[in-house]
Amino acid sequence: MPRRFLPALVALLTCACGGRAQHGGNGPIRVLPVAANIWLLTGEGGNMVLAVGDDATLLVDAGYAREAPALAAAIRTLTPRPVRYLLDTHWHADHTGGNAALAAAGAVIVAQDNTRRRLAVEQVTRGQHFPPPPPAARPGIGFRDALTFHLGGSDAVVSWAGPAHTDGDVIVFWKRANVIHTGDLTCYYAYPYFDEDSGADIAGMVAAVDRIVALTDEHTRIIGGHGPLATRADLLEYRDMLKGIVQGVSTQLAAGRSVAQIIASRPTAPYDARWARPGTMPPDTLVALIYRSLRAHSRS
C-alpha cells in the first residue's frame, strides 16, 4: 500500500466508519428506547445496547473507559438491576474500554473466541500499539460460533460473523423484539472501515451483511456500531454500496490492474456523494484496503 495512506489509516482504527462517532465529547450518555426493555445508549464511543429481561440484564459493548461514570448513571435511570452480562462485539477500544468498570461492578464479560484472545495480548494495528486491558477487564467466557443469552422476555441470539471488520465480530439478534445490533459490520453515514491487522476480510464483511439482511424485515430496528438507528432500507443501501465497490475493484484486480490504476479509475465515484464524508474513511483508502483483502484471497 502506498505510504500516503498510512496516516489516514492510523486515525481510523477504532471506528467502523473511519471517523469519530457522531456523538462526540465526554457528556452524558444519550438514551433512546428501541423496543420494550431495550435501549440504545450513545456517547463518544461505539453504540451500546441495554436489554433488561425478567432474569438478567445484558449490555452490548461498553464504550470508552472515560465514559464509564456517565454510562453507569444512564443505566441507573433505566433499571435498578446491575448489568449481569457484558458482550463485546469486537476488541476495539471504543467498544471495550468500559469493560473494567463493568467487571468491577459484577458483570461477566463474554466475547467471541478471537476477540477474547485479542484482548488478552497487545494488539499492533498499522504500527499503533494497544496494550491488553487488566485481566479482570477481559472476557471470562468465550464462544466460537453462537450462544444465546436467556434473559427472560428479551432473549438475545449472538452469532459469529466470521472474519469481517475484525476476526471476532458478532451479530446480536433479539428475535422477539425484532432488533439487531451489528457492531461495526455496518455503517450508515460514511464509508466503512475494516481492520486488516485484526484478521478482517472484505469478502467476509459482504457475507456478514448478507446474513444480517436475511434476518430483517421492514419492521426491524438495526443498530450499527456508530451512528443512528437504521431500517432495512438503510441496510440494503449500505449492502449495495459495499458490493458495488467490491465488484468494481475485483473486476479490475482480475484484469491485472495495479492498486494505483484501480484507485485512479475511481470505483467509488457512483457512491461518493452519499458516503464520502470529511473526517471519515477516504474513498481512495477504502479502495486500497479492498484491493489488499481481495488480493490476499486470490493468492490463497
**CATH code, 183:** 3.60.15.10
pLDDT above 90 covers what percent of the chain? 85
Q: State which amino acid sits at residue 7.
A: P
Q: Report pLDDT for 7.
A: 37
Q: Tens of pLDDT along 96-147? A: 999 999 999 999 999 999 999 999 999 988 788 999 999 999 999 999 999 9
Instruction: Confirm if 152 and 170 have CB atoms less than 8 A apart.
Output: no
- CA-based radius of gyration for the chain: 18
Q: Report pLDDT for 12.
A: 46
Q: Is residue 288 part of a domain?
A: no
Q: Is pLDDT larger for residue 23 or for residue 97?
A: 97
pLDDT grade for 16, boundaries at 50, 70 and 90: low
Q: Report pLDDT for 151.
A: 92
Predicted confidence (pLDDT) at residue 10 exceeds the cutoff of 80: no
Q: Report pLDDT for 297.
A: 79
Instruction: Confirm if 166 and 261 have CB atoms less than 8 A apart.
Output: no
Q: Report pLDDT for 24.
A: 39
Task: Report how far residue 95's alpha carbon sits from residue 65's, in angstroms, rounded to the nearest whole number.
Answer: 9
The total number of structural domains that make up the chain: 1
Range(s) of the domain holding residue 208: 17-244
3-class DSSP assignment, residue 230: strand
Q: Is pLDDT larger for residue 21 or for residue 177?
A: 177
Q: Report pLDDT for 90.
A: 98
Q: Is residue 94 part of a domain?
A: yes
Q: Report pLDDT for 300.
A: 64
Q: What cell numbers appear for 174 in the block?
A: 433479539
Calculate mean pLDDT across residues 21-30: 59
pLDDT grade for 299, boundaries at 50, 70 and 90: confident
Q: Report pLDDT for 194.
A: 87
- Report the sign of the C-alpha dihedral through residues 17, 285, 115, 98, in that order: negative
Instruction: Confirm if 70 and 40 have CB atoms less than 8 A apart.
Output: no
Q: Is pLDDT larger for residue 142 or for residue 154?
A: 142
Q: What cell numbers appear for 135 in the block?
A: 485481566
Task: Report how far residue 170's alpha carbon sits from residue 145's, in angstroms, rounded to the nearest whole number.
Answer: 9
Query: What are the DSSP calls for 113-162, one per residue?
Result: HHHHHHTTS-EEETTEEEPPPPGGGS-SEEESSEEEE--SSS-EEEEE--
| Three-state helix/strand/coil letters over 82-108 | CCCEEEECCCCHHHHCCHHHHHHCCCE
- Per the DSSP assignment, residues forming a β-bridge with 111 are 88, 142
Q: Is residue 284 part of a domain?
A: no
Instruction: Confirm if 124 and 8 have CB atoms less than 8 A apart.
Output: no
pLDDT grade for 23, boundaries at 50, 70 and 90: very low
Instruction: Confirm if 82 and 57 have CB atoms less than 8 A apart.
Output: yes
Lowest average pLDDT, out of 24-33, 148-157, 195-204, goes to: 24-33
Calculate mean pLDDT across residues 61-66: 96
Q: Is residue 142 part of a domain?
A: yes
Q: Is residue 191 part of a domain?
A: yes
Calculate mean pLDDT across residues 218-235: 97
Q: Is residue 95 part of a domain?
A: yes
Task: Report how far residue 2's alpha carbon sits from residue 252's, in angstroms, rounded to the nearest whole number.
Answer: 18
Q: Is residue 3 part of a domain?
A: no
Q: Is residue 213 part of a domain?
A: yes
